[in-house]
Structure 1
Amino acid sequence: MRRPRIIIFDMDGVITKIKNSWRYLHQYFNSRLDESYDNFSKKLLEKYLKKEISYTRWITCDIEYLLRNSKRKIHRKDIYEAYSKVEIYDEIKSVIKISLENNVKIFSIVSGGVSILARIVAEKLSISEIYANHLLFDEKGYLIPAGLPIVEPLGKDEVIKKLLNKLGIDENETIFIGDSIWDIPAFNIVGYPIILGCNECLYDSNKRFDIYSAFKLNRSYDDIIYVDDHLKLIIKIKDVFKPWENL
């Protein structure tokens, strides 16, 4: 294997202590959020995976639901305030520190989450390359039911390829850390795929009969780095750099 030159992080659940930055907005602005939203969201997911709607349409429907059920206008500053309360895993700070000590100088976020949160956490962690999805606002700064997709749910691999091409970095010199089946396309292309606590990522897609059967990890288990939690992630990152310890 080649020496890592970049670490790319998924955001929700990897860097942040929330698992879904879209759902978080619904929780924050609608205290009565219940399983009705989860059912609504699942239906959108099913339609997207069946190619009945685009990701742009999915985002639009999600924000329409948010605005309708919050029963208020939501300003850009309200969203910044909401996301400013999101906690970051201290272990990720340690991962970055260890990587810097091992001559990794480039860090990136590639997330299907919301770019406002991505920018907030990137500033705190000195992460320079940020790819996440944009909310849109009117001329007065109020949220509108629309969005600009940057990272499609099944498209992290394409975003990463473009990023690496821009930076002149090989896929085999790349660490990607993710925690969900949405990260499988990224795991399939990088030299160091680190799966954080996602047992579902290891399921044999040929034996699945639900809407997620399209997700397939095209790697042998020997190529995968699996960790149960963030503390073990620190240990594994140290292990990744051991071959170059004395060089």
Structure 2
Amino acid sequence: MEGIRLGIKLIAFDLEGTLVKSKSSWVELHKRFGTWDKGKEYAERFFRGEFDYQTWADLDASLWKGRKREEILEWANSVEYMEGVEELFQFLRENNFKIAIISGGLMCLAKRVADELNADYVFANELIFDEEGRVTGKVIARVDFQNKGEILAKLKEELKPSLTIAVGDGHNDIAMFKVADVSIAINPHEGVEGDYVAKDLKEVKEIIKRILEKRGQ
């Protein structure tokens, strides 16, 4: 068993701006439902340190209270993939990678992507719906601006992989980069640096291929 485990590799992806063309579940739903003015104010207050992430998430979701699950899923199902994602995931599975998606966005989108791409793990924030399938205004906040690294560290501890790679574009991915053996920043935001920089997922695949060749894996 230990010999098999030694062959396991782990890769963790950010979702929005990395695997799909959506930039932020929260912002896009605010714009869709006409609540962005208030949503922007809450974001500014969070970054000033006025309240914690759970409070921010609940305040955001409260602006959509009463909206139907179908309205949320209609948006989630409309989000397009980045080019090259299916080829990349196929390559990763062929090379014995366990694949995790760790997103500060919403589970309605993250789960769809995880299911369609056959990812092994998915972590994201979940809107709570009532018995009639309407938004309650409460959120299960699993992924905040600080804890992507903690989530990845737990997976590393559980799987004991021979190699851990993290791929992302934003400031909240830096914590994940610090835990990984190798980090790849894809079209990174200003101030976000990885061991490698890629312009698209095709380049991510080529970088990983080179890493595996160099390590003899």
The answer (yes or no) to whether the contact 1:4–1:174 under 8 Å persists in 2 is no
Matching residue of 2:89: 96
The answer (yes or no) to whether the contact 1:184–1:201 under 8 Å persists in 2 is no
Structure 1, unaligned runs of 5 or more: 68-72, 203-216
Note if 1:81 corresponds to 2:74: yes
Specify the SS of the correspondent of 2:23: coil
- CA distances 1:176-219 after superposition (whole Å, capped 9, x unpaired): 100111111111111011111115234xxxxxxxxxxxxxx7xx
Query: RMSD of aligned C-alpha atoms?
Result: 2.3
Query: CA shift at 1:41, angstroms?
Result: 4.3
Specify the SS of the correspondent of 1:90: coil
The TM-score with structure 2 as length reference comes to: 0.87
Amino acid of the structure 1 residue aligned with 2:104:
G
Query: CA shift at 1:244, angstroms?
Result: 5.1
**Alpha-carbon distance between aligned partners in 2 of 1:111 and 1:124, rounded to the nearest angstrom:** 16
In structure 2, relative to structure 1, the CA distance for the partners of 1:200 and 1:157 (3 Å cut) is same
Percent of paired sites with the same residue: 27
The TM-score with structure 1 as length reference comes to: 0.77
Matching residue of 1:191: 181
Structure 2, unaligned runs of 5 or more: 1-5
Residues 44-63 of structure 1: matches in 2 within 5 Å?
44-47=45-48, 50=49, 52-63=50-61
- CA distances 1:92-120 after superposition (whole Å, capped 9, x unpaired): 2221122223232x111111110111110
Query: CA shift at 1:79, angstroms?
Result: 1.2
In structure 2, relative to structure 1, the CA distance for the partners of 1:131 and 1:156 (3 Å cut) is same
Query: CA shift at 1:4, angstroms?
Result: 6.9
In structure 2, relative to structure 1, the CA distance for the partners of 1:142 and 1:38 (3 Å cut) is closer
Specify the SS of the correspondent of 2:145: coil
Aligned match for 1:7, one of 8, 11, 19? 11
Matching residue of 1:235: 206
The answer (yes or no) to whether the contact 2:166–2:182 under 8 Å persists in 1 is yes
Aligned match for 1:64, one of 43, 57, 62? 62
